Structure 1
Amino acid sequence: MEVLEPAVVVLVFLAVYTDLRWRRIPNVLTVSGALAGLALNMIILGPTEGLRIACLGLVVGLALLLPFFALGGMGGGDVKLLAALGAWVGPGRVFNIFLYAALAGGIASIIMLALQGRRANFKEVAHDVLFFFLTQTCQPERRDGPTLAYSLPIAAGVLGAIVFGDLV
């Protein structure tokens, strides 16, 4: 698909811009991005196969980040962005983007912690996870340090998938 890479790059670039500028990824961007991916897949692959691939990609993209959102570790816009990307690229490719994004996000988080001279507090994290599983509710968010706009690691994930040929 010769329109796939540029369209996905534009979608993720717009998401990064809005995330860095306003600290949110608007629904108009993620929903229209998902609908465009759905439409393109239906045009290229046919109505049945295109709908199946796009919907599976959307569900996989959503499912991969939803647990982190539920635990309060990321915003809903990041989850919807990966779901929209899944509608464009399908389930296998969105999983590749997720893996590259997780690697980039982990590296960025380690760098941020190192620059602050802090170590992750394992006791707090373990308490929050246990609290969530026992009560099905999240602890109030702790904002004691800088946060990472996760659209950046997702963009790095798209770039990694393109560079290493996992997007074509």
Structure 2
Amino acid sequence: MQQAYIKTPLGTALIEGDEYGISKISMLDGDVPVSDAVPEILYPAARELTEYFEGRRRNFTFTMNPHGTDFQKKVWQALLQIPFGSTTSYQELSIKLGDVKAIRAVASANGKNPLWIVVPCHRVIGSDGSLTGYAGGLWRKKWLLEHETPPVQQSLF
């Protein structure tokens, strides 16, 4: 397993993966030094994350290989279907997955998402529109949602 630490506007991100794909992207708190060089196998993910933060990328194309249960992977696949700049609720996600009563299990799988930003768990909000829990901190969730839906410039005339 190879690792790289890259700087983002939200702190340092850790990228982990191997020849089978990227298995983990997570945010680290504190002063973590960035990598001098990104391993070739991780480079596409690092480049695409940088493009995302620069506002030049809306979806990711590098090979992903997250580890989890079959149910978790099903939830993560559903998260990938949430369009850039949109949100959904845990309840809507549970209904989409075929079991409205699975809301807690869906929320738990969402919280165990190993591919920060790429599998957009930040796009899941409460049914009332509130920003609910986020492993990276609610301030990061708010930043990401604002990054994906910048305010529309109003015309003065």
Q: Same fold (TM over 0.5)?
A: no
TM-score by length of 2: 0.29
Task: Tell me which protein shows more helix as a share of its residues.
Answer: 1
TM-score by length of 1: 0.28
Task: Tell me which protein shows more strand as a share of its residues.
Answer: 2
